[in-house]
Amino acid sequence: MSMIRLSLLAGVMIGNCQPSPDKPPPEMPTPVTQLTPTELLGGKLFFDTNLSEPRGQSCAVCHGPEVGWTGPDELLNKLGSIYEGAVPGRFGNRKAPSSAYATPSPIFHLVDAQQGTFAGGNFWDGRATGEKLGNPAADQAQGPFLNPVEQNNPSAAAVVAKVCAGSYGSLFRSVYGEDICDATQVDKAYDGIALAIAAYEGSREVSAFTSKFDAYRAGHATLTDQELRGLRLFEDKAKCSNCHTSQPGPNGEPPLFTDYSYDNLGAPRNPLNPWYGQFEFNPLGRAWIDYGVADFLVTRPEWRQYARGNLGRQKVPTLRNVDKRPRPDFVKAYTHNGYFKSLKSIIHFYNTRDVLPVCLPENPGTPGADCWPPPEVGLNVNTQEMGNLGLTPEEEDALVAFLGTLSDGYFPP
């Protein structure tokens, strides 16, 4: 376990996710398939701890392969679920999503003008649209390097200089040309860094399609009775597949378990989110509300009119690797703010959100047993596909069992 420095910051428990001195930083796994030169370069960039300021934080610190390319620190997952940046004490505002299966996301676009619905892009709020580099995952890869609460580099030129001087500088030049490190090529080089990271994220090392479910689809594995029951519930009574599509793509591509749309689940705020204490970057403090994709839409004049109808909507994540963990009792965090700490709890929330009363000071109780806290954003809550599903405890367990079949790394006898 990494060294955790717990402290109080404006009444919020926070923890340090920097790799501790007695624990080496995450390393690039031994490739299970042959990577192209661009993919190999992207992997080296992804795991390089020298690309932050101060040095020490790679992409893998918040996107660990052992947990499905999301947050690998169990203690942080149990608390605010938001990971610390390169500068000690600086935290972002949302949980790190999985970086796997991100590259198929389409460029952010308006799906239905009448309904005001959107799809595509990257980040929970879609602001990495893909319009710049043609792939939202590549647009996203440029963000953390320059974000002061993440890797904190002062400029793209500073990142490029570190890459060109790094141990894989020759590989960088061989992929993009010998002149890529010239001072006049900074923009092209920075774009190349992002495109290489996206290529790695789309490689079979990261987006592997090696789950038990994939083996089942190929006729090489058999699901248990409980897992099969969970699959049937997933596609019918529980309505999961309405957004987490479980059917192959138009050309037979394996299911991605997301339609890359945006939805307001009615999730409560996470009171342990350290962002509430980041007054330098969040002057609203605990009054801050995460409006999701609406916060991005208001920055674009052509989409501003749709912002109110999208308040509280966050990107629908893939469910691939949703239960991947280094050991059965390892705690992962779920939803954009990490409020839920188990698949069972979030499924129970989907099932009973509108059945149990609201937890209020005058109506205290245990969340999930007696009541649920109110949604962080009360507008646009999805009441058509969740909230009162009528699932039995056994059916909830069956869904959990099925979701466990989506973890990569299953190799049948």
pTM greater than the 0.75 cutoff: yes
User: Does residue 407 lie in a domain region?
Assistant: no
Residue 1's pLDDT is 34
User: Does residue 255 lie in a domain region?
Assistant: no
Distance (Å, whole) CA 129 – CA 340: 27
User: Does residue 411 lie in a domain region?
Assistant: no
User: Does residue 277 lie in a domain region?
Assistant: yes
Residue 364's pLDDT is 80
Distance (Å, whole) CA 17 – CA 57: 9
DSSP label at residue 385: S
User: Does residue 322 lie in a domain region?
Assistant: yes
Residue 167's pLDDT is 96
The number of domains in the chain is 1
Amino acid at residue number 231: L
Distance (Å, whole) CA 304 – CA 320: 32
> What is the DSSP secondary-structure string of 338-365?
--B-SHHHHHHHHHHTTTSPBPBTTB--
User: Does residue 93 lie in a domain region?
Assistant: yes
Could you tell me which of 230, 266, 208 has the C-alpha nearest to residue 405?
A: 230
Provide block-wise average pLDDT over 10 residues at a time, the chain (413 residues): 35 44 64 86 98 98 97 97 97 97 97 97 98 98 98 98 97 98 97 98 97 97 98 98 94 95 98 97 98 98 98 98 97 98 98 96 88 97 98 98 97 83
User: Does residue 170 lie in a domain region?
Assistant: yes
User: Does residue 36 lie in a domain region?
Assistant: yes
Supply the CATH number for residue 336's domain: 1.10.760.10
Residue 326's pLDDT is 96
Residue 22's pLDDT is 52
Range of the domain at 109: 7-208+261-352
Bridge partners, 128 (sequence order): 122
Distance (Å, whole) CA 68 – CA 98: 7
